Amino acid sequence: MTQFPHTRLRRTRMTAWSRDLHRETSLSPANLIWPLFPTEGHDQEVPVGTMPGVSRLSVDRLAKAAKEAASLGIPAVALFPHTSPARRSEDAKEALNPDNLICRAIRAIKDAAPEVGVLTDVALDLYTSHGHDGLISDSGEILNDATVEMLVGQSLNQARAGCDIIAPSDMMDGRIEAIRAGLEGDGFHNTQIMAYSAKYASAFYGPYRDAVGSGGVLKGDKKTYQMDPANAREALREVAMDIEEGADSVMVKPGMPYLDIIRAIRDAFDVPVFAYQVSGEYAMLEAAIAAGVLDRGKGVLEALMSFRRAGCSGVLTYHAPLAARLMGA
């Protein structure tokens, strides 16, 4: 008779209670951040064609979404405003307007659901007429230092409106140190910075750009400031710099195509790591679900579990409300 080894790894998999007992990684609504797209108007819900199930929401509807997040146990929302072309300009001056769309959205959410954290994107692409994250010289170069000065003003504008986490996604050099100094100097000692430390020049951002209105205006690409998808060690240098400059947490973007980067950062640094399951990832999952080749509930939760297994403290995902309901079922 064939002799088997004493260790049989299937033993602990044989029953549901045993699988629960031996599960190495947990996933709960507390690990989710829900990205939302503010838009102008009242009682507006405008579907984003390239992101099935996702809509731009007017400020009054954002307040309702924040209450929904609270009821589902989702601890934070992230805001990415759809800025109308009339308010976009070469110098992105709308980013500094204390009554701009994102500032009104922050105040409405904090009034409606003060227990929900509000994360705000800091980059100029939401306000520039050319769709880039920074100011541009006459020769077409993205100006690092002049952009950083604007980013500090944008951060302070959003902090004054009541946001809890500043999330710079621009990938300019030195911006974390400058923003941290600006926040401290203005008395915002407890405002967090979640740095987009490893943000790649990815093909997966297209639907997002449709959602915020920058896709049709973007001139060229963002390869001179976002990271090359071929590079991994460079991501560790970016993270090290952002931690040294004062980041409270770091982010990898996109998510699933960069799980190796998440794991490398988590192993190298004792700092919370987040990931953004970006619009292209969401759209791919939704396309597979619509085609009948992926079970919605199982597929969504398995994808999110992969981030946790790789080392993420949390995930920005458009599937946040669905996932929270599935976990609460």
Annotation says 199 is catalytic: yes
C-alpha torsion 312→318→320→326, nearest 10? -110
The catalytic position among 199, 219, 222, 223 is 199
Residue 230: other Cβ atoms inside 10 A:
7
> Do 147 and 106 form a contact (C-beta atoms < 8 A)?
no
Angstrom distance (rounded) from CA 235 to CA 251: 10
φ, ψ (nearest 5 deg) of residue 160: -65, -30
Q: How far apart, in whole angstroms, are the C-alpha atoms of residue 192 and residue 184? A: 11
Binding-site positions for Mg(2+) read 238
Pairing of strands 135-136, 142-143: antiparallel
Q: Which residue ranges make up the annotated binding site?
A: 238
Catalytic-role residue among 64, 67, 110, 253: 253
Is 67 in the active site?
no
SS3 74: coil
Q: Which residues carry out catalysis?
A: 199, 253
